[in-house]
Amino acid sequence: MYEDDLTLLRQRNLKVTPQRLQILHYLHTHYTHPDADEIYTALKRTSPSLSRTTVYNALETLKKENIIHAITISAGETRYDARTDTHHHFLCTACKKISDIELICPNIKRVEGGGYCIEEVHGYFKGLCPLCAKKQERKDESKDPT
Ligand SMILES: [Zn+2]
Ligand SMILES: [Zn+2]
């Protein structure tokens, strides 16, 4: 899955800037679907001169070139993913964590059968992640006197 960041940029004839490399590296080492602010804050620690606009612009460029994917699972929030193969996402409504869900969508063949050419497939699930579901369970148990 991991490809050399430098090669990824060169293949698309993108200018190789340290910022783009930093952002790509961050996303390839953090498959947690961070948002732009999270990436900015993390990189700012080692690159104090980094501007928010640079991060936003770089993300926009990388997204356009399909090097990264933008996920808009919750309204008004964009999260980024360096995995560009087809996979689905689960948003935990409690801790806001987005996890990858490995599923093959059984409907793809039916859609393609209608003459459509599919470029992207997104599946979104929302609910409680295993950790939060357990916490919820414990809370319910403590409420229950039996
Ligand atoms: Zn959770
Ligand atoms: Zn993902």
All residues at 6 or more sequence positions from 65 whose CB lies less than 8 Å from its CB, including other chains: 12, 14
Q: Which ligand is nearest to the CA of 84?
A: 2
Q: Which ligand is nearest to the CA of 127?
A: 1
More confident residue, 140 or 32: 32
pLDDT tens string 80-125 = 999 988 899 999 999 999 999 998 888 888 898 899 998 888 889 9
From ligand 1's centre to the CA of 48, what distance in Å?
32
pLDDT of residue 140: 86
Q: How much is the mean pLDDT over the chain?
A: 91
Q: Which ligand is nearest to the CA of 87?
A: 2
Residue 146 has pLDDT above 80, yes or no: no
From ligand 1's centre to the CA of 124, what distance in Å?
15
67 and 84 in contact (C-beta within 8 Å)?
Answer: yes
Question: If you average pLDDT over residues 58-80, what whole number do you get?
Answer: 93
Specify the pTM: 0.84
From ligand 1's centre to the CA of 98, what distance in Å?
8
**Predicted confidence band of residue 7 (pLDDT cuts 50, 70, 90):** very high
Q: How far is CA 75 from CA 30, 71, 92, 105, 134, in A?
A: 22, 10, 14, 23, 26
Residue 1 has pLDDT above 60, yes or no: no
Residue 4 has pLDDT above 70, yes or no: yes
- Residues surrounding ion ligand 2 at CB below 5 Å: 81, 83, 100
- With CA atoms as reference, report the closest residue to 63 among 41, 47, 39: 39
How, if at all, do strands 79-81 and 69-71 pair? antiparallel
**What is the DSSP track for 78-145?**
-EEES--SS-EEEEETTT--EEEE----TTHHHHHHTT--------EEEE--HHHHHHHHHHHHHH--
From ligand 1's centre to the CA of 39, what distance in Å?
20
Q: Which two tokens stand for residue 20?
A: 């783009």
